[in-house]
């Protein structure tokens, strides 16, 4: 049996359902929305990730005997609510931005149309998945943009939890990373995996030369040899001597990288290893990758920075009720007005206005009947691209967004939408969102 995801939530969601069942409001049709009031400080765009994982977890959101017994034993909710939870299976509709899509403040990233009870219990699950995966994807996209086409591998599993490691690898891949070191991410999501040896393998052997010979005997001359355990210059000399000029690559994990890489390239060329690639690791982030833009680096490996969102480990999304039916069955818009936390109520649709060259100029959020329908094209815009797509319809998940195929589609979609961004989006310096969000 598939593991239940129902307890990946907060207690107050169930106590709200409990109170709503008692008051007779649990079955009111409602519209919830996940959005970010602002981007992380200094960022000019965000990248949505996690939707494919979220859909799988919603499918698994069931209260089995184990969950129900615990809730009863701990007096969390009353018996009518336990009976309701026992039959829970999301039967509403969910629309969202496609995974890999870029977004801006106020973008209605996920729209849930369901009864109050069905929709409110998903709040923590929605936010825990989208906040983390989006933070990773947004950081990864910045790294990819300054990598100038050179492949970047995700290798941060040891810098986050064992569950987050798999999610991070997936999010980074969607944002353009080429591979991951995490085997579960490779198995679950179809992501290419990579990895050869760490410093411990070199230290295991009586000499660096012995370690290189052992690795080449196992993996062939096209392997990547880690050359900085003792002395980089001597390590490169030994690597080429053992593997020959057909050595696949060397990896450098320390030192003043611009200086070290330049010297390594010159040494490799002088030894006839002109096709041997250089990959660097060593606590990289988007700024250090950008600093190596003029260096002869062939690929990068990034760990801590990408799995922690490069300083922004959560995307700042919230999940709010924006509309509900009244007693007459009419829609009523609702919104918070709290200082610094105000939200825009009402059912929404979203489009991106593109100019004649296909460059994004505005995020257009339309208040009205909610997702679906055609845009009313702005006079200054050549095109308004719809952003919300159906993810779940009457409880049925759209399978195209799931699994390895869904991950691949998200990666492809991300690559296409990045081409729409104005060039200013790719500056690493602090700035505001690169296009405005307008409500109409």
At residue 278, the pLDDT reads 98
Give the pLDDT confidence of 50-83 residue by residue, as tens digits.
999 999 999 999 999 999 999 999 999 999 999 9
Confidence band of 338 (pLDDT split at 50, 70, 90): confident
The share of the chain scoring above pLDDT 70, in percent, equals 98
Identify whether residues 252 and 337 lie together within a single domain: no
Q: What is the pLDDT of residue 2?
A: 73
102 pLDDT band, cuts 50/70/90, is very high
- Asked whether the predicted pLDDT for residue 382 surpasses 70, the reply is no
In a domain, 179, yes or no: no
> What is the rounded CA–CA span in Å between residue 27 and residue 91?
12
Same structural domain for residues 292 and 326? no
- Does a structural domain hold residue 109? yes
Quick one: DSSP state of residue 36? E
330 and 287 in a common domain = no
> Are residues 21 and 106 located together in one domain of the fold?
yes
The CA angle 412-110-47, to the nearest 5 degrees, is 40
Asked if 228 and 198 count as a contact pair (C-beta separation under 8 A), the reply is: no
Could you tell me if residue 41 is inside a domain?
yes
Residues 106 and 208 in one domain: no
Residue 298 has pLDDT above 60, yes or no: yes
Average pLDDT over all residues of the chain: 96
Whether 75 and 125 map to the same domain: the answer is: yes
| Residue 78 and residue 19 share a domain | yes
pLDDT class of 295 with cuts at 50, 70, 90: very high
Percent share of the chain, pLDDT over 90 = 92
Residue 187 in any domain: the answer is no
pTM of the model: 0.95
Report if residue 171 sits inside a domain. no
Neighbours of 281 (CB within 10 A): 19
Q: 176 CB contacts (<8 Å, ≥6 apart)?
A: 140, 141, 144, 152, 411, 414, 415, 418
pLDDT reported for residue 379: 54
Burial class (CB in 10 A: 0-12, 13-18, 19+), 196: middle
CATH number for the domain spanning 290: value is 3.20.20.70
**Tokens, residue 338:** 């709290």
Residues 208 and 128 in one domain: no
- Does 167 have pLDDT greater than 70? yes
Q: Using one digit for the tens of pLDDT, what is the confidence trace for 118-151?
A: 999 999 999 999 999 999 999 999 999 999 999 9
Mean pLDDT of 424-432: 93
C-alpha–C-alpha distance, residues 437 and 346, integer Å: 16
Residue range 187-212, pLDDT digits in tens: 999 999 999 999 999 999 999 999 99
Q: How crowded is residue 124: how many other Cβ atoms within 10 Å of its Cβ?
A: 16
> Which pLDDT value is given to residue 377?
60
Confidence at residue 376, expressed as pLDDT on a 0 to 100 scale: 64
Phi, psi of 66 (to 5 degrees): -65, -45
Strands 299-302 and 152-154: parallel
Of 232, 262, 297, the position where a domain reaches its end is 297
Query: What local confidence, expressed as pLDDT, does residue 336 receive?
Result: 84
Which range marks the domain in which residue 128 is found? 11-136+312-344+388-421
In this predicted structure, what is the pLDDT of residue 381?
A: 54
- Rounded mean pLDDT, 387-410: 98
Whether 285 and 316 share a structural domain: no
What confidence tier does 12 reach under pLDDT thresholds 50, 70, 90? Answer: very high
Q: Is residue 438 part of a domain?
A: no
End-to-end CA distance of the chain: 47
For residue 436, pLDDT over 60 is answered with yes
pLDDT confidence of residue 210: 98
The verdict on 239 and 263 lying in the same domain is yes
Distance CA 38, CA 343 (A): 11
Q: Is residue 123 located within the same domain as residue 28?
A: yes
Confidence category of residue 339, pLDDT binned at 50, 70, 90: confident
Model confidence pLDDT, tens digit, residues 214-250: 999 999 999 999 999 999 999 999 999 999 999 999 9
Q: CATH number of the domain at 45, please.
A: 3.20.140.10
Are residues 125 and 203 both part of a single domain? no
pLDDT, residue 342, reads: 79
Local structure of 118: helix, strand or coil: helix
Contact between 50 and 331 under an 8 Å Cβ cutoff? The reply is: no
Tell me if 99 is assigned to some domain: yes
Q: What is the DSSP letter of 221?
A: T
Model confidence at 1: pLDDT above 80: no
- Number of structural domains found in the chain: 2
Helix/strand/coil percentages in the chain, nearest 5: 40, 20, 40
Structural domain contains residue 405 = yes
d(CA 260, CA 257): 5
Residues 6 or more apart from 163 whose CB is under 8 A from it?
Answer: none
């Amino acid at each position: 049996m598939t593991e239940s995801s129902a307890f990946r939530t907060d207690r107050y969601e169930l106590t709200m359902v409990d109170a709503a069942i008692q008051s007779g409001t649990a079955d009111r049709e409602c519209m919830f929305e996940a959005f970010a009031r602002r981007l992380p400080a200094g960022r000019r765009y965000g990248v949505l990730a996690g939707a494919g994982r979220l859909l799988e977890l919603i499918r698994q959101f069931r209260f089995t005997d184990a969950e129900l017994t615990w809730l009863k034993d701990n007096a969390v909710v009353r018996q009518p609510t336990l009976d309701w939870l026992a039959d829970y299976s999301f039967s509403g509709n969910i629309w969202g931005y496609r995974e890999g899509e870029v977004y801006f403040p106020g973008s209605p990233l996920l729209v849930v149309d369901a009864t109050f009870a069905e929709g409110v219990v998903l709040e923590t699950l929605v936010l825990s998945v989208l906040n983390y995966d989006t933070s990773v994807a947004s950081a990864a996209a910045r790294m990819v943009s300054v990598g100038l086409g050179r492949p970047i591998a995700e290798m941060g599993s040891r810098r986050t939890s064992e569950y987050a490691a798999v999610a991070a690898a997936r999010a980074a891949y969607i944002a353009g990373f080429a591979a991951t070191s995490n085997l579960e991410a490779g198995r679950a999501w179809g992501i290419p995996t990579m990895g050869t040896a760490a410093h411990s393998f070199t230290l295991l052997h009586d000499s660096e030369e012995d370690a290189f010979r052992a690795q080449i005997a196992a993996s062939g001359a096209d392997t990547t040899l880690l050359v900085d355990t003792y002395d980089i210059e001597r390590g490169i000399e030994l690597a080429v001597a053992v593997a020959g000029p057909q050595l696949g690559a060397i990896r450098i994990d320390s030192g003043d990288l611009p200086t070290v890489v330049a010297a390594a390239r010159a040494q490799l060329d002088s030894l006839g290893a002109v096709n041997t690639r250089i990959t660097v690791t060593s606590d990289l982030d988007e700024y250090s990758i950008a600093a190596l833009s003029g260096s002869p680096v062939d690929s990068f490996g990034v760990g801590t920075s990408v799995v922690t969102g490069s300083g922004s480990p959560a995307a700042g999304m919230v999940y709010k009720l924006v509309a509900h039916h009244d007693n007459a069955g009419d829609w009523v818009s609702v919104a918070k007005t709290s200082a610094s936390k105000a939200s825009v109520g009402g059912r929404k649709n979203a489009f991106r206005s593109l100019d004649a060259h296909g460059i994004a100029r505005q995020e257009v959020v339309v208040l009205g009947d909610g997702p679906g329908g055609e845009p009313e094209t702005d006079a200054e815009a050549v095109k308004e691209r719809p952003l919300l797509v159906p993810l779940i319809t009457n409880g049925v998940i759209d399978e195209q967004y799931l699994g390895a195929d869904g991950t691949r589609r998200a990666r492809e979609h991300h690559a296409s939408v990045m081409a729409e961004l104005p060039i200013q989006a790719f500056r690493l310096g602090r700035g505001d969102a690169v296009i405005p969000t307008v409500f109409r």
